[in-house]
Amino acid sequence: MLHLASKSPRRHQLLQQLGVAFDVLDVDVPEQRAAGETPQAYVSRVARDKAAAGALLVKPGGVVLGADTEVVLGDDVFGKPRDAVDAAAMLRRLSGRTHAVISTVWALGEGRQECAVCVSQVRFAALDENDIAVYVATDEPFGKAGAYAIQGRGAVLIEHLEGSYSGVMGLPLFETARLLRGFGINPPA
């Protein structure tokens, strides 16, 4: 049995796209970057913690997926904004620049643990204060790493994407499908 340890409706929707049967586990793990932790190491640790928290809830023999997505600019990691001021500050930093979106997925099964990493580059258009205020007022930035959603109105902010659309949205499907095959779960082609 496959389990997705995630509260993110985007991840549920993306995993459904693969056509595999799964259920959803409600897990809550702290997302706090440790001093000196690289962005890649942080994303991987949080994704693994989610999968490990889920693994405590399931019967032996199951496979648990956990994922984490963060927006990274230089050494700064932008998670989900705390409030509207934080969201506007993130969008101001992303304006007119290229940032990375790192999505890591861990799969934990009996006697087997594997992870996949997906890094995409996203170039934002130059935004003025009005663009930022209008977008924040849509409420879309909340609950999204970096305060935007590629799958929503945020699409109009993105000049260029190099990488994986599903990875930016929260669950890189090519990498996840490959990971699952290693656990004997074969998404139908």
Ligand X SMILES: Cc1cn([C@H]2C[C@H](O)[C@@H](COP(=O)(O)OP(=O)(O)OP(=O)(O)O)O2)c(=O)[nH]c1=O
Per rule CB under 6 A, is residue 144 in the interface with ligand X? yes
Per rule CB under 6 A, is residue 145 in the interface with ligand X? yes
Per rule CB under 6 A, is residue 99 in the interface with ligand X? no
Of the candidate spans 7-15, 32-40, 105-113, 177-185, the one that interacts with ligand X by CB under 6 A turns out to be 7-15
Q: Decide whether 149 or 177 has the Cβ nearer to ligand X.
A: 149
Q: Which structure tokens are listed for 148? A: 């935007």
Cβ atoms within 10 Å of 45's Cβ, excluding its own: 18
Least distance in angstroms from the C-beta of 189 to ligand X: 26
Per rule CB under 6 A, is residue 7 in the interface with ligand X? yes
Stated as kind and residue range, the H or E segment containing 5 is: strand 2-5
- DSSP lists the bridge partners of residue 106 as 66, 115
* Phi, psi angles (nearest 5°) of residue 68: -145, 145
Look up tokens 């259920």; give the residue. Answer: 23
**What's the CA gap between 103 and 114, in Å, rounded?**
14
Per rule CB under 6 A, is residue 11 in the interface with ligand X? yes
Binding-site ranges for ligand X (CB under 6 A) = 6-8, 10-11, 31, 50, 67-69, 71, 80, 101, 143-146, 148-151, 154, 168-170
